């Protein structure tokens, strides 16, 4: 078990690091050794990281990264095999893709690999000793990602013959390598600390290890390579809805890390627009919404497509006090309404009466002394 780790953090992508106090526990829940915690200022890593990558796979915004998870199928005949670093290299099939742990693979990784395999079977090798591995459990750690990508491929009507599958290839437990490492990769990794934590952290492999694009962009590229015709089924993407509690604060738009949420303006209306294909499902918009007006589902209705959609539509008014555009049913914009309420409360405190007020500019001049 390592006392230091190559796990690296991109604070701009990490929700608790970018928005202190945000309740995001994806990486903590995925960590098999319990050495990750999340504070109000981001994740903390204690000693004992086994570098399985399961935390990085669970992060919706790819804020965590480890080297060694490049899935590049070699140009050869036969099945594409994916094996674990804890298997001696001599025991892996010729041409196998070796990764630190299969549990560190996302559904998007597997979708990309299926597209790159060009119709060849993709075999994720189950060596039978995951329960004995520090990064393992009773179930194989890749099963969750595998079930997700198989569901996608089923929705896309890709024949099951071309789905990635967990393939039993037992290896005696005593053959398991105790340290998850790959000497050729170790030589390429520098020793510059990146992670805010207790363990020594070093720089991950270059961004092209998993591609410079974010996860939604990679998914779209893989779908194009599979020659899936647009529009893509909505069941492949998260779905977002807004109820009538939405007050058009636009906080969600400012916070969305991928731009899946944006504001629009059409004639005398404005509101929220949502592009499901750009959404990672991180849930930040729901957490930060002051009105708790947003609800997210893991996938959209199977019979629909996820093109950009309008979530809310508000009539735009012009404030008679300050001429600013605003939405809502009030006689003035929220800022002016707040100013009026403050002034009225101040007048009541000083004189024990409510100050007169009118949105008419002339009446406002008459009562301005009372503010």
Domain ranges of the chain: 8-225, 234-314, 329-370
Which of 350, 247, 226 shows the shortest CA–CA distance to 292? Answer: 247
Which of 83, 103, 105 shows the shortest CA–CA distance to 93? Answer: 83
What are 267-277's pLDDT values in tens digits?
888 899 999 99
**Higher-confidence position of 300 and 108:** 108
Backbone angles phi, psi at 39, to 5 degrees: -105, -175
Distance in angstroms (rounded) separating the CA atoms of residues 285 and 295? 9
Q: Is the pLDDT of residue 310 over 80?
A: yes
Is the torsion defined by CA of 183, 180, 51, 103 positive or negative? positive
Mean pLDDT of 165-188: 72
pLDDT at 34: 92
Strands 122-126 and 80-84, bridge-based pairing? parallel
Question: What number of CA atoms fall less than 13 Å from residue 263's CA on the CB side?
Answer: 13
From 3.40.50.720, 3.40.50.970, 3.30.70.3270, 3.30.9.10, which CATH number describes the 234-314 domain? Answer: 3.30.70.3270
Question: What number of CA atoms fall less than 13 Å from residue 121's CA on the CB side?
Answer: 11
Mean pLDDT of 290-316: 85
Is the torsion defined by CA of 142, 161, 69, 78 positive or negative? positive
What are 336-361's pLDDT values in tens digits?
888 888 888 877 877 766 555 544 44
What are 52-92's pLDDT values in tens digits?
999 999 999 999 999 888 877 666 678 899 999 999 999 99
pLDDT at 239: 92
pLDDT at 210: 52
Mean pLDDT, the chain, as a whole number? Answer: 82
Give the global pTM: 0.79
pLDDT at 200: 35
Question: What number of CA atoms fall less than 13 Å from residue 91's CA on the CB side?
Answer: 18
Return the SS3 of 33.
coil
- Which percentage of the chain shows pLDDT scores above 70? 82
């Amino acid at each position: 078990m390592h006392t230091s780790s190559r796990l690296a953090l991109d604070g701009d992508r990490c929700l608790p690091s970018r928005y202190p106090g945000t309740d995001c526990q994806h990486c903590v829940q995925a960590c098999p050794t319990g050495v990750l915690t999340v504070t109000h200022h981001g994740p903390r890593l204690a000693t004992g990281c086994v570098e399985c990558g399961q935390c990085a796979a669970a992060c919706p915004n790819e804020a965590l990264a480890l080297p060694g998870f490049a899935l590049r199928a070699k140009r050869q005949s036969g099945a594409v095999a994916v094996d674990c670093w804890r298997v001696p290299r001599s025991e892996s099939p010729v041409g196998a893709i070796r990764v630190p742990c299969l549990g560190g693979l996302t559904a998007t990784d597997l979708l990309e690999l299926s597209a790159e395999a060009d119709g060849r079977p993709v075999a994720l090798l189950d060596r039978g000793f995951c329960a004995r591995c520090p990064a393992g459990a009773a179930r194989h750690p890749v099963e969750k990602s595998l079930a997700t990508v198989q569901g996608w491929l089923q929705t896309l009507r890709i024949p099951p013959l071309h789905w990635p599958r967990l393939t039993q290839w037992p290896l005696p437990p005593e053959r398991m390598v105790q340290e998850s490492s790959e000497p050729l990769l170790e030589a390429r990794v520098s020793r510059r600390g990146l992670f805010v934590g207790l363990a020594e952290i070093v720089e991950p492999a270059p961004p092209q290890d998993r591609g410079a694009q974010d996860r939604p962009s990679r998914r779209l590229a893989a779908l194009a390579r599979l020659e899936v015709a647009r529009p893509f089924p909505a069941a492949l993407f998260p779905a977002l809805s807004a109820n009538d509690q939405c007050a058009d604060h636009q906080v969600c738009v400012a916070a969305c890390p991928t731009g899946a949420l944006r504001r629009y303006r059409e004639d005398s209306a404005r509101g929220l627009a949502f592009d499901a294909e750009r959404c990672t499902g991180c849930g930040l918009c729901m957490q930060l919404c002051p009105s708790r007006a947003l609800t997210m589902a893991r996938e959209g209705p199977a019979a629909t497509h996820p093109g950009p959609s309008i979530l809310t539509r508000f009539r735009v008014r012009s404030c008679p006090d300050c001429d600013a555009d605003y939405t809502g049913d009030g006689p003035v914009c929220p800022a002016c309404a707040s100013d009026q309420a403050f002034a009225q409360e101040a007048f009541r405190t000083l004189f024990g009466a409510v100050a007169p007020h009118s949105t008419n500019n002339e009446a406002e001049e008459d009562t301005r002394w009372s503010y």
